[in-house]
């Protein structure tokens, strides 16, 4: 008999394997549907529903089916058992049930009011997977890809503005949302809706910080497809990427803000501790990410020149690149920092240094690999968001809170964009026009990060209400604003079909005549980075990559022996090829290839993939972006020096 029982247990276990397979199959099925739909849409040039919106829609339908078409099977799971012998929850629990020991693994703590939600459907429980999967598996590739595909030239040109929007703008947004929500919460308490709840101002700020993370995916995909004005694109892209990082760290800092006494009274010490936390975590994550990238660059550089021709093994190169970048994320998490921020700056730094050391084959491999991972992760997240509306079992829907949140989000976005744009325009030579500001206002979609931050903690009732509300805002903004992007662009008369390198060409053409003007424009952000750039160009690039001037020319003479040791032999010949890193940015070939048959006039040059962008074009790029800054200074002499001062 015991033998038979054993077989039964093996079969039970198999049942569990199949369960895992079923869930994965559901996601695969949703993704396949999404892909087939996107094809159809792309083919008919429908732009009112982006793939992310489609993925969310399918997820929603699937969630509805799972919710109402599957039966409640596991009746016992709603019961709570007493255990007096234990003092705290161990990570593994061994329980003797009718002479058979079962192992149970700690999952989470549950508030008493949530216990009833656990009654019932096992399938629903399986489909709502662990938020840590979001943070450890799905988000890193998306964020890394964003960093890796940053259009560096345009980014650095607008860096001051981007930083302002990202840091100051997110702080404004967080505080404004927090204040408005606090008003609404007070009103709700007044009419007796939140009896017995604890809902402090810090909770409102927490909501404010998580709702401040804007999502670049949908709008930017459309922008990229339509070739919207590059400056607008860069501003939005830079803002939303950095703003995610800021919002994540901000949310964490607020969640650990713990005033000693009354939580409603402002505690200066605790506040400054939170601010310190914010700065410390941000800086630490930045350092962690960058240093991993530098290590990768060094390894690839060393292996490439000193030990072996590593470019002969593109698989090893790609593998190392992938693993070290992921390690940046994991190390930051392990050290108590923010992995997402680390992996973002790791991506930026990898693109700047390591990319130059990769073999052509590896350049393409890494680019395609990260693109693909980004594509999959993005669609999984949006599918999951759709699913969550019906499969998550502890939704708390409060119309007043939802209304308040919608108001707060839009007011906060307005308070972020318009005043900051006004201030920035005071300093900018190339103003941010009104229609750009309106477009930025309109593009404040909320997406994966807001969702991930909200789902991370859904234990207390206020947090559950926030999660429900955040989910609704994500749905609304992705569908309505995402779908309205194209009409809005037309209505605001924003240029589409712009060649991203157009400005370079006009600059190049006018180089002889109006040096003063151009260099003034350049100088806008240049003062911030002149020192850094010089250091990077003269020392870091030659040490870490095969580009840039030989160290022998940039270091003082007495360093020559060391300089000769560290300089790559190929550096002497390649000085002009300095900045070809800028070319890894032609994002998804997906949209890239799409417009080769589109009716938007795009110059042929724009269609070239990253691998073809060598030689002459590189020099263009290098000359006129940051890379060429030095050359121009030499050209124009004292005149430009004056304009920079």
Cβ 197 to a copy of itself, closest distance in Å?
12
Nearest partner of 354 among 398, 299, 425, judged by Cα:
299
| Closer residue to a copy of itself, CB minimum distance, 71 or 616 | 71
Cβ distance to a copy of itself smaller for residue 92 or 513: 92
- Could you give the CA distance from residue 295 to residue 308 in angstroms, rounded to a whole number? 17
Residue 39 binds a copy of itself (CB under 8 A): yes
Tokens 């550096």 identify what position?
571
Using the rule CB under 8 A, is 352 a contact of a copy of itself?
no
CB of 97 to a copy of itself, least distance (A): 5
Answer yes or no whether residue 263 interacts with a copy of itself by CB under 8 A: yes
In the complex with a copy of itself, the residue whose CB is nearer, 217 or 551, is: 217
264 binds a copy of itself (CB under 8 A): no
Residue burial 199-233, b: 16+ Cβ < 10 Å; e: rest: bebbbbbbbbbbbbbbbbbbbbbbbbbbbbbbbbb
Of 337, 325, 331, 189, give the one whose Cα is nearest residue 264: 189
What burial letters (b/e) apply to 287-326, b meaning 16+ CB within 10 Å?
A: ebbbbbbbebbbbbbebbbeeeebbebbeebbebbbebbb
Q: Is 93 in the site for a copy of itself (CB under 8 A)?
A: yes
The dihedral sign for the CA sequence 548, 552, 557, 559: positive
CA distances in angstroms from 313 to 210, 293, 324, 581, listed in the order given: 43, 20, 17, 21
Report the C-alpha gap between 133 and 25 in whole angstroms.
17
Strand residue runs (E) in 179-254: none
- State how far the Cα of 250 lies from the Cα of 449, in Å rounded to an integer: 13
Answer for which of 282, 301, 303, 479 binds a copy of itself (CB under 8 A) is: 303
d(CA 217, CA 49) in angstroms, rounded, equals 13
315 near a copy of itself, rule: CB under 8 A: yes
Q: Which is nearer to a copy of itself, 3 or 599 (CB)?
A: 3
Assess contact for 160 and 528: CB atoms under 8 A: yes
Contacting residue, 209, 285, 331, 458, with a copy of itself by CB under 8 A: 331
CB of 447 to a copy of itself, least distance (A): 19
Rounded CA separation 151/149 (Å):
6
Residue 18 contacts a copy of itself per CB under 8 A: yes
User: Binding to a copy of itself (CB under 8 A): which residues in 121-160?
Assistant: 122, 125, 132, 135-136
Residue 94 phi, psi (nearest 5): -105, 125
The residues in 463-482 that bind a copy of itself, with binding defined as CB under 8 A, are none
Which segment (150-158, 236-244, 406-414, 593-601) binds a copy of itself by CB under 8 A?
Answer: 593-601
Minimum CB separation from a copy of itself for residue 28, in Å? Answer: 5
Q: Which is nearer to a copy of itself, 309 or 431 (CB)?
A: 309
Place of tokens 């002969």: 312
Residues that bind a copy of itself (rule: CB under 8 A) add up to a total of 122
Binding pattern for the stretch 97-126 against a copy of itself, x by CB under 8 A and - elsewhere:
xx-xxxxxxxxxxxxx--x--x---x--x-
Token pair 């799905």 is found at 138
17 binds a copy of itself (CB under 8 A): yes
- Is 65 a binding residue for a copy of itself by CB under 8 A? The answer is no
Is 334 near a copy of itself (CB under 8 A)?
Answer: yes
Determine if 21 is a binding residue for a copy of itself (CB under 8 A): yes
Say whether residue 270 binds a copy of itself (CB under 8 A). no
Min CB(425)–a copy of itself separation in Å: 38
| Ramachandran assignment for 100, one of left (phi > 0), alpha (psi -120 to 50 degrees), beta (any other) | beta
If one asks whether residue 198 binds a copy of itself (CB under 8 A), the answer comes out as yes
By the rule CB under 8 A, 82 interacts with a copy of itself: yes
Closest CB 125 distance from a copy of itself, rounded Å = 7
Site for a copy of itself in 542-571 (CB under 8 A): none
| DSSP tag of 337 | S
Site for a copy of itself in 365-384 (CB under 8 A): 365, 368-369, 371-372, 375-376
Task: Rule CB under 8 A: say whether 513 interacts with a copy of itself.
Answer: no
């Amino acid at each position: 008999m015991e033998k038979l029982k054993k077989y039964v247990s093996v079969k039970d276990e198999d049942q569990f394997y199949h369960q895992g397979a079923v869930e994965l199959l559901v996601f695969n099925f949703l993704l396949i549907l999404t892909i087939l739909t996107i094809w159809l849409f792309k083919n008919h040039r429908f732009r009112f529903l982006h793939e992310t919106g489609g993925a969310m829609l399918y997820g929603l339908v699937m969630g509805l089916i799972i919710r109402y078409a599957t039966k409640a099977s596991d009746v016992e799971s709603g019961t709570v058992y007493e255990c007096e012998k234990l003092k705290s929850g161990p990570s593994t629990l061994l329980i003797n049930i009718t002479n058979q020991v079962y192992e149970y693994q700690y999952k989470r703590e549950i508030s008493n009011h949530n216990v009833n939600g656990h009654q019932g459907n096992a399938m629903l429980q399986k489909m709502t997977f662990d938020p840590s999967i979001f943070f450890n598996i799905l988000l890193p590739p998306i964020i890394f890809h964003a960093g890796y595909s940053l259009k560096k030239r345009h980014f650095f040109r607008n860096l001051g503005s981007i930083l302002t929007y990202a840091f100051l703008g997110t702080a404004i947004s967080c505080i404004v949302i927090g204040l408005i929500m606090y008003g609404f919460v007070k009103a709700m308490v007044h009419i007796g809706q939140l009896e017995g709840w604890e809902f402090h101002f810090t909770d409102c700020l927490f909501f404010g910080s998580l709702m401040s993370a804007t999502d670049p995916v949908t709008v930017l995909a459309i922008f990229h497809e339509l070739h919207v004005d590059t400056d607008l694109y860069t501003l939005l892209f830079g803002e939303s990427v950095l703003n995610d990082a800021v919002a994540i760290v901000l949310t964490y800092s607020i969640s650990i803000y713990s005033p000693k006494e009354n939580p409603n009274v402002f505690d200066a010490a605790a506040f400054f501790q939170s601010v310190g936390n914010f700065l410390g975590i941000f800086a630490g994550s930045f350092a962690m990410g960058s240093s991993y990238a530098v290590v990768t660059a060094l390894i690839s550089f060393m292996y490439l020149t000193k030990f072996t021709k590593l470019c002969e093994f593109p698989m090893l190169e790609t593998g190392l690149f992938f693993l070290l970048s992921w390690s940046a994320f994991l190390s930051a998490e392990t050290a108590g920092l923010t992995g997402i921020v680390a992996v973002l700056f790791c991506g930026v730094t990898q693109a700047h240094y390591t990319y130059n050391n990769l073999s052509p084959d590896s350049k393409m491999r890494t680019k395609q690999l990260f693109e693909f991972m980004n594509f999959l992760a993005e669609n999984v997240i949006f599918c999951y968001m759709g699913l969550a509306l019906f499969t998550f079992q502890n939704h708390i829907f409060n119309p007043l809170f939802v209304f308040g949140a919608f108001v707060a989000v839009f007011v906060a976005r307005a308070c972020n964009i318009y005043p900051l744009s006004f201030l920035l325009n005071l300093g900018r030579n190339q103003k941010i026009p009104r229609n750009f500001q309106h477009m930025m206002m309109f593009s404040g979609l909320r997406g994966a990060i807001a969702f991930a931050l909200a789902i991370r903690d859904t234990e207390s009732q206020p947090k559950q209400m926030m999660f429900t509300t955040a989910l609704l805002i994500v749905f609304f903004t992705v569908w309505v604003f995402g779908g309205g992007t194209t009409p809005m662009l037309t209505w605001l008369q924003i240029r589409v079909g712009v060649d991203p390198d157009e400005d370079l060409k006009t600059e190049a053409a006018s180089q002889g005549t109006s040096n003063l003007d151009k260099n003034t424009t350049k100088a806008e952000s240049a003062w911030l980075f002149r020192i850094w750039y010089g250091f990077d160009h003269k020392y870091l690039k030659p040490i870490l990559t095969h580009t840039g001037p030989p160290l022998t020319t940039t270091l003082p003479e007495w360093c020559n022996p060391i300089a000769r040791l560290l300089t790559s032999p190929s550096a002497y010949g390649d000085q002009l090829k300095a900045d070809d890193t800028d070319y890894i940015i032609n994002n998804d070939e997906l949209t890239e290839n799409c417009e080769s048959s589109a009716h938007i006039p795009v110059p042929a040059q724009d269609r070239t993939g990253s691998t073809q962008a060598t030689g002459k074009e590189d020099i263009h790029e290098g000359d006129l972006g940051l890379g060429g800054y030095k050359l121009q200074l030499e050209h124009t002499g004292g005149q430009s020096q004056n304009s920079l001062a």
